[in-house]
Amino acid sequence: MPMPTSAEPLAPGPKASLDDWLGYLEAIHPVEIDLGLDRVLTVYRRLFPRPPAARVVTVAGTNGKGSTVACLSRVLAAAGRTVGCYTSPHLHRYNERVVIDGRLATDDELITAFAQVEEARRGISLSYFEFGTLAAFVVLARAGVQDWVLEVGLGGRLDAVNVVDADLAIITSVDIDHVAFLGNDREVIGFEKAGIFRVGRPAICVDPNPPRSVLQQAAAQRVALKRLGVDMMLTADAGQPVLSIPETNQQLSLPRDAALPLASMAAAVMAALTLQPEMTAADIETALAKVHLAGRFEQLARQPDVYLDVGHNPHAAAWLATRVQARRRAGGVVRAVYACLADKDAGGVVDAMAAVVQHWYLAGLDQPRGRSAETLAALVSERLGECTLTPQATVADALKQAMADAAENDLIVVFGSFFTVAEARVALGASDERAEALAAESKAP
């Protein structure tokens, strides 16, 4: 193994712990996010001289990516396929990022893959995400699963996941987020997300109003793009969501009052039928009914009802507001526990949730980019004027206070970041063991 440069720490080695390796990944690259494929593509080609034998589905989008991955992987498993998933970030354990046939990757699997990437990089600098993405590919390849379902980390065109050519690409939504890296224009962001398209290969877009840039890229690359509102229709009759596919005269009932976005389910259904056209509506409906995803409008307590959601931008908050409105009890108060990172559009999130929230419990995040409770309280007060708010130092403190104040018919919603939800889940006693159980449950017949 080549010696590290003087600027890098010594590689931990295959007998080190997973925490040792993760600490090393954090230390070897000067910046957290470093978009571009040159470095990661070089190492990828050393690791994979030939393309992976698996069928690859790549999922990009501002919101709804993780939900789409969860739904599609469950449906493909129901079709008898072996499936490996790569998502990010994680809530409690890094292992959550790589799921193989319904189980989390083990420490040993990840450590072996990290060591293999370290040997292959030969001094090329990789970010934490790039290193972890390549290691995930190694784990999935060694597991020999038939399908890889991969979530883009940021954007699409220049994201490390995009070094693998997708057999089918999915864009879930296009909205404003990660402005420092992707800009604040939907056309530009759409172009970046459409970078996961491959010439002549199918793609799906369930954004109801896709930017022209997405449609232009699909046409330029001769991509057969299936669109929500054109090739598939979502309707609701007496509260029952139905997905209709006019081309094949198929209709599928989606779960009522779903905790996951219906558009994500629609994307998964269309992807599954594209890849496994023999699947019946009944098979897909049964599979979707069993999908659970930690931190996505996840209910962890009753009387008062407590829901957790990782939504962190205005687009996600607008969806969350509709779910809260649908679940609130008559006469009950909606209490929001909100904590976010400093680089997020907190004002837009507050605006999106303002109509359904009566009491705000604002918390700080003890993270390098975390926003303090005091600055968040100032922002909410400026945005909403007269409102009821309670600042607390931590998410756990804010949640404890909200639960102490709540009546049985109130609803508490905790949201704003993966960090926010992770802290709340620990406070409620639902940490990584539940994540492991949910992964196993998603595979159960």
Domain ranges of the chain: 18-293, 298-429
pLDDT range class, residue 29, cuts 50, 70, 90: confident
| Architecture of the structural domain at 18-293 | 3-Layer(aba) Sandwich (3.40)
Q: Give percent above pLDDT 90 in the chain.
A: 85
* The predicted structure's pLDDT at residue 30: 73
Q: Would you state the structure tokens that stand for residue 424, as one six-digit string?
A: 């709340």
By C-alpha distance, which of 403, 365, 410, 360 is closest to 385?
A: 360
Query: What mean pLDDT comes out for the span 415-437?
Result: 82
Predicted confidence (pLDDT) per residue in 349-380, tens digit: 999 999 999 999 999 999 888 999 999 999 99
Question: With 70 as the cut, is the pLDDT of residue 348 above it?
Answer: yes
Q: What are phi and psi of 247, to 5 degrees?
A: -60, -35
Q: Please give the residue that has the higher pLDDT: either 386 or 230.
A: 230
Query: What mean pLDDT comes out for the span 187-193?
Result: 94
Predicted confidence (pLDDT) per residue in 132-142, tens digit: 999 999 999 99
* The predicted structure's pLDDT at residue 258: 85
CB atoms within 10 A of CB 285: 16
Predicted confidence (pLDDT) per residue in 215-269, tens digit: 999 999 999 999 999 999 999 877 899 999 999 999 999 998 889 999 999 999 9
Non-local CB neighbours of 6 within 8 Å, separated by 6+ positions: none
* The predicted structure's pLDDT at residue 7: 61
Predicted confidence (pLDDT) per residue in 43-102, tens digit: 999 999 999 999 999 999 999 999 999 999 999 999 999 999 999 999 999 999 999 999
* The predicted structure's pLDDT at residue 324: 97
* The predicted structure's pLDDT at residue 14: 74
Measure Cα distances from 186 to 174, 254, 317, 391, 445 in Å.
Answer: 7, 29, 18, 34, 40
Question: With 60 as the cut, is the pLDDT of residue 443 above it?
Answer: no
Question: With 60 as the cut, is the pLDDT of residue 434 above it?
Answer: no
- Beta bridge partners, 244, equal 233, 251
How many whole angstroms separate alpha carbon 30 and alpha carbon 361? 35
Strand-pair category, 55-60 with 233-237: unpaired
Please list the alpha-helical segments (H only) found in 248-372.
Answer: 262-275, 281-288, 314-327, 346-353
Question: With 60 as the cut, is the pLDDT of residue 6 above it?
Answer: no
Q: Give percent above pLDDT 70 in the chain.
A: 93
pLDDT range class, residue 183, cuts 50, 70, 90: low
pLDDT range class, residue 412, cuts 50, 70, 90: very high
Question: With 70 as the cut, is the pLDDT of residue 289 above it?
Answer: yes
The average confidence (pLDDT) of the chain is 92
* The predicted structure's pLDDT at residue 5: 47
pLDDT range class, residue 182, cuts 50, 70, 90: low
> Which of 3.30.420.40, 3.40.50.300, 3.90.190.20, 3.40.50.450 is the CATH number of 298-429?
3.90.190.20
Query: What mean pLDDT comes out for the span 190-211?
Result: 96
